[in-house]
Amino acid sequence: MASAAFEDIAKALPGCQIDLDTLPPWDKLYRGDPRFNHIHCFNLRKGGWRESLRWLAAMRNANYDLVIDLQTTDRSRSLIALLGLSGKPIRWRAGNKSAYPYNLAPTLTGIEPRHALNIAHDTLRAANIPPAATYPHLHIDPPTRSSATKLLAAAGLNGKQFAMFLPGCQAAGYLKRWGIKNYVDLATQLMAAGIERVAILGGPDEMDDCAAIADACGEAAINLCGQTELLHVPVIAQSAQIIIANDTGTAHLAAASNSPMIVVCGPTDPRRVLPAGANVRGAQVQLPCINCYRKHCAHHSCMRLLHPTQVMRQVRMLVPALA
């Protein structure tokens, strides 16, 4: 979602040196991105104080005029504050709270949950940068685009009406998984509506679920799990008629295609977590316990009670050709 804000920053500050400070593995998304002069990547989650000190040294040597904090976590706020206390503060510091260390911040009212892109847009306005981008903007170099296109061709998806399934998530967030049977039942309904193939994508934590869905769907399924690079995802998504996903990072990559997408939510709040874009919808059953953000649950009702027919109803609304 931050890549949408990157697009606005690059357009508002032509000719300026713009560097990106990110965490692994997301630096891989921006290597060679023409919007950035340099990529800083420090493993601050696992590196402890050693990595934090390396970060402080790098920022002190860079002599930046402006920092825009789009992560807005306690870690990012603390690091920017420590930079100021070290004697080399960045003059202008934009963030989402009217408190130290920021001196450029929006005035917010209300307590309703807010989408991350809306928060980023408010931060940009505080820095006098007009927000315009409404979905992720990723730079995909010609070799990466070419290899993704070849993968599509090898899978027999060129010229086909296909749906993309992103049925996994990291192992620790298993409550965000809608389930094998639900994806298989939805695939049956999609094919009855005219979809010819189902492309299934995922990473190492999702191999078993992807394989099980592919086996149940038979010849109509193309299991690409483990065969794609990060930036292959938006290229493949661009050719899909519809994307069905769990609340997973891969869905945010797919959103860069601006293709129609439905994200299944249960323990996480769609008002906060949906990928950015006008073509993205959330599917969620209304229960008192939704948006609980729990890591474990005995009944998993939020996913168990969300029937594929309900999701298919939203598919038809979003993609009239499948009505």
Alpha helices in 36-161 (DSSP H): 48-62, 74-85, 116-126, 142-154
Which of 69, 91, 126 corresponds to the end of one domain?
A: 126
One domain for residues 246 and 185:
yes
Examine residue 131 and state whether it is found in any structural domain, yes or no: no
What does the pLDDT look like over 194-203, one tens digit per residue? Answer: 999 999 999 9
Examine residue 135 and state whether it is found in any structural domain, yes or no: no
Question: Which two three-digit tokens encode residue 267?
Answer: 């323990």
One domain for residues 265 and 173:
yes
What does the pLDDT look like over 204-213, one tens digit per residue? Answer: 999 999 999 9
- Domain span including residue 27: 2-126
Examine residue 188 and state whether it is found in any structural domain, yes or no: yes
Per-residue pLDDT tens, the chain, 323 aa: give them.
Answer: 999 999 999 999 999 999 999 999 889 999 999 999 999 999 998 888 999 999 999 999 999 999 999 987 899 999 999 999 998 899 999 999 889 999 999 987 777 788 999 999 999 999 999 999 999 999 999 999 999 999 999 999 999 999 999 999 988 889 999 999 999 999 999 999 999 999 999 999 999 999 999 999 999 999 999 999 999 999 999 999 999 999 999 999 999 999 999 999 999 999 999 999 999 999 999 999 999 999 999 999 999 999 999 999 999 999 999 97
Examine residue 234 and state whether it is found in any structural domain, yes or no: yes
Q: Which residues of 239-265 are buried (b: 16+ CB within 10 A; e: fewer)?
A: bbbbbbbbbbbbbbbbbbbbbbbbbbb
Give how many domains the chain has, as a whole number. Answer: 2
One domain for residues 163 and 294:
yes
One domain for residues 88 and 222:
no
One domain for residues 174 and 232:
yes
One domain for residues 105 and 146:
no
One domain for residues 111 and 174:
no
One domain for residues 150 and 117:
no
User: What is the distance between the alpha carbons of residues 187 and 190, in angstroms, rounded to a whole number?
Assistant: 5
- pLDDT value for 45: 87
Strands 197-200 and 261-264: unpaired
Conformational region of residue 74, where left means phi above 0, alpha means psi within -120 to 50, and beta covers everything else: alpha
Question: Which two three-digit tokens encode residue 69?
Answer: 């904090």
Average pLDDT, the chain: 95
Examine residue 98 and state whether it is found in any structural domain, yes or no: yes
One domain for residues 8 and 45:
yes
Q: Look at the pTM and tell me if it is higher than 0.85.
A: yes
Which of 92, 126, 160 corresponds to the end of one domain?
A: 126
Question: Which two three-digit tokens encode residue 111?
Answer: 């307590």
One domain for residues 195 and 94:
no
Examine residue 266 and state whether it is found in any structural domain, yes or no: yes
One domain for residues 25 and 146:
no
- pLDDT value for 108: 77
Residue 125 CA neighbour count, 13 Å, CB half: 14
Examine residue 149 and state whether it is found in any structural domain, yes or no: yes
Examine residue 297 and state whether it is found in any structural domain, yes or no: yes
Which of 101, 126, 151 corresponds to the end of one domain?
A: 126
What does the pLDDT look like over 106-123, one tens digit per residue? Answer: 987 777 788 999 999 999
One domain for residues 20 and 69:
yes
For the chain, first and last CA: distance in Å? Answer: 30
Task: Kindly report the CATH number assigned to the domain that includes residue 105.
Answer: 3.40.50
Read off the amino acid at residue 191: M
Task: Kindly report the CATH number assigned to the domain that includes residue 190.
Answer: 3.40.50.2000
